[in-house]
Structure 1
Amino acid sequence: MSDSVSGCTRPRTSLSEAEVEALVRGICFKTGPPRRLGVEVEWLVHELRAPQLPVTHERLRAAHAAVRTLPLRSALTVEPGGQLELSSPPATSLTECVDTVSADLDAVRAVLGQDGLALAGLGQDPWHPPRRFLREPRYDAMETSLDRTGPAGRDMMCSSASVQVCLDAGHEEPGPLGHVRRWWLAHHLGAVLVAAFANSPLTGHRPTGWRSTRQLTWTRIGAGRAGGPPLDADPRGAWTRHVLDSPVMCVRGDRTPWEVPEGLTFREWLRTGAPRPPTREDLDYHLTTLFPPVRPRGHLELRMIDAQPGDDGWIVPLAVTAALFDDPEAAETAYRAVKPLAERTLGLTAPDNPLWRDAARSALADPELRETAVVCFTAALEALPRLGASPEVVEAVTAFLDRYVVLGRCPADDLLDRQRAADGRTHGKDPRS
C-alpha cells in the first residue's frame, strides 16, 4: 500500500503496539527548562457593516486568498467554517510573542477591511448556524464521524473560535516547573481559565444558559474525542493509553471518501490490522484528531479558552497563562489556589466533570471559581514584570482583573447585557410603528 494523502506516494510500513507505545511516550512530553511560548488565535470572519449577515463563500475564498499573500511570521490556516487562525512561531519571551502576532493581525485586518470584512473575537458564532466552507477529505470524514454523537461536532468545526496557549512541558524533575506538576495544574487551572474568559453565551441570537457554550460543545462530541486521560503521576503513560484507546476518526486512502469506522480504537486497529495495517503516518494523523483541553505535543497546548473581544483581547489570556506557568512564584501560588477545586472533579477527567461544567455554565458567578481567579490573576499580575512584560500588557491584565474578575464577571456577561437591552427595546416597541 502507499500513502498519497500529502500529495506524494510513499511505501507504508505497519507498526506494532509496542512501537506505538514507545513513539507516543517519546514525543508527548519534551522536558527541559521552560523557555518558549506560543499562541494560536482563531477568529470568526464577518461583515464589517453588519456582523449578523453571513459572508458568502465567494467572498471568504477571495479574502483567504488575499491574506495568504501577506509575509506573515505566524502560520495562517483556515478552519472548516471559514474561521481564520494565526499560530505564532515559538517565542523566547512574552513580549516577542505578543509583538509578532500583533503585527501579523494588523496586516490581516487591513487586507480584510479593504473588502468590508472584519475579525470577531467570539467563542462561538452567536448569529449563524454552522456551515461548512472547506470541502476536503479530512473534514468530510470528521463531519461523518462527529455526526454520530449529534450536532455538536458541526458547531465545533464551523462555528467556534479560541485562544490556545502553548507552553513548554517543563522540567523532568519534580517541582513548581516540573512536567508532572504543570500537567496537573493545566487541568485544574484550566477550569478557572474557562470561567474567567468565557465569551460564548449565545446561539441563534438567544442565550443558551451557558457562559461558554463553546466549552459545552466540546463536552458533547464525546470523551474519546475531546476528553483527557486520568491524572496520575505518569502523564506519559496516561496519555499513551488514551491515544491507543481513543477511537480512530478515519482510515485515509487514495480514494475518497475515506473510510470512517465506528468504535474502532487505535489499539484494536493495531491488533486486527483491518481494514489495513496502521502506519506511522496513521499514528501521526490520529494524534491530530484528538482534542483534549490540554494536548501534549512535546509542549503543552491549552485549548480551553474562548476567543476574546477586541483587537487585543487575546493578549490577556496569553499573558496570564504564561505568568502562572513560567514564573516559579506565581506557579506555586496558582497550584495552591486551585488545589481545593480538585475535589469538585469527582475524579472524572476534564472537561466532562462537574468543575469544568460549572465553569462553562456559571463562569465567575461561581463563588469558589471567582475567589480562585482573583488569587491567580493577582499572582500573574505581580509576575508579569519579572517576565519582562511591557507596561501595556500589565495594564491590559489589570483592566481585565478590575472589570471582570473582581466583580465575578466575564466577557460573556457583556454580551448577555447587550442582548437583554436589545430584547427590552424590541419588546417595548409599539407594534404599530
Structure 2
Amino acid sequence: MTSAPENHEPRPSTAETRAVTRTRRTRRRRAIVATVAGGALVLGGGSAVAVSQAYKTVTLDVDGETRTVGSFAGDVDGLLAAEGVAVTDRDLVTPALGDPLTGGSDVVVRTGKEIDVEIDGEATSTWVTALDAHEALDLLAQRGSDVALVASRSDDRTELGLQVHDGDQVAVVHGGTVDVVDGSDDLDTVLAAAEVEVDDDDNVTVARASDTGVDADSLPDGTDVPQVAVVVERVEVEQVTKVKEIEHETRTKKSDQRYEDLDPKVQREGRPGSRTVVREITTVDGEEVSNKKIASMVTAEPVTEVLVQGTKERPEPEPEPEPETASGSSSESSADSSSTSYSGSNREIGQRMAADRGWTGSQWTCLENLWTKESNWSHTVANPSSGAYGIPQSLPGNKMAAAGADWQTNPATQITWGLDYIAGRYGTPCGAWGHSQANNWY
C-alpha cells in the first residue's frame, strides 16, 4: 500500500521549503534513533507524531509586531524556539507554551516590562505586559483611584519603556499649556513633537487625561479630548544662604574699687555674632513643596559684654561748718560771694571757699582735680562744641546767674554756683570727681 502523497499539505515557498527540508531531515534522524531505542513506542503513536510534525501556518504577534510564519513545531514552545523568540516568567504567552500548535493559530507574546508607578501617592515599581501606557493604565486601574506612570531620565532621554498611546493622540501638559500630539511613539519622541524640553530635575508622568484636569475647555475648539496625558512638572532646586545675628550676652562683675552708687562701667564692649544657614528650597511649577535646612554653622562668635558694678560705699559728706555771725547783724552764708570779698588766684579763691564748706584735705584735692580737668580754673573759658562756660563748666553758662548777675566775669560767683551744684548732686567733691572719672562728665 502506498503512502498518501505529501502534496496534500499546502505547498510552502522556496525559502520555507529549505526550512522544511532541514526540519524533516532532523526529525527523521531523531525518529530513527527513537525507533532503535523503542520501536514499539513509535509504532503505537505514529499517527500523533504525524500530526505534530505536519506543516502549519500560524500568525505570530510579538509585542504588536505581527507576521505569518510556517512551522512544523508541535507546540507553542517549539514555534517560539524556532523563531528565536525567548520568553521569561514575566512574559505573557497565549496559547500557553505547552499547548499544541495547530494551523491557523494566533500566537501572542507580550514581553513583561518593569515600570515605575505612583498609585494613590505611593511610589512603587511593577511589571506589566501592556503594549502602551494607555493599556498599562487600564491594567493598573484596579490597584487605586489615582494611577500614574513615572518616566525616568537616561542619556538625555525621557524613557517609559512603552509607547504612550498607539494609534491615538495624547495631551502634553506643561507650564499651564496643553498641546495635543500623536502618541504612537515612545515618550521622548512625543515630548519632542510637542516641543517640550525636559531637565534632569523635572518630573514626567503619564496618566489618564481625566485625572490631570484635561477637558474640552482646556483644548482648542473642535479638538477631541485624548484619553492619555503626559504631564511635565518643572522642578527647581535652589540653595539659599542667609546670615542670622546671634545676640551677645552681658556679664556683670563686682569691684570694691568703684563706688556702689555709680552706674556700671563698660569694661568690654559686647559684639553680636553671626550664624550662616543654608536651606534647599524645591519648587514644582513655581510652588514651594520642600524647604529643608542642609547646613548651619556659626561664622562669627559673639563677644560677651562685661560691666563693672561698684560695691564700695561712699563716705558720708563732712558736715558744713556753722556760719560766723557778726554782732548786731543777721547771719550771712559763707558761700555768698556777694557779701564776701575774695582775692588771689581763682584756685586760691576756690580753696578758701571750699574750706568754708569744710571741704579740705582729700575733698579739696578732688575739687582741684575736677576743675583743673574741666577748665584749668579759668573763669572765661568756653567750650565751643557744647557751650559750657567758666570754672565749673556750667551747661549752659547762664545757669550760674542763680549765684549772681556777674557770673560771666566773677570767679567767686562761678565757684559759689559750682560748689552748690556739687553738694546738691554728688554730696562732696570726691563724689563728683569719681563720677567724672567713670563717665568723663559730672
TM-score (norm: length of structure 1): 0.15
Q: Which has the higher strand share?
A: 2
Larger-gyration structure (1/2): 2
Structure number with higher relative contact order (C-alpha < 8 Å, ≥ 6 residues apart): 1
- The structure with the largest helix share of the pair is 1
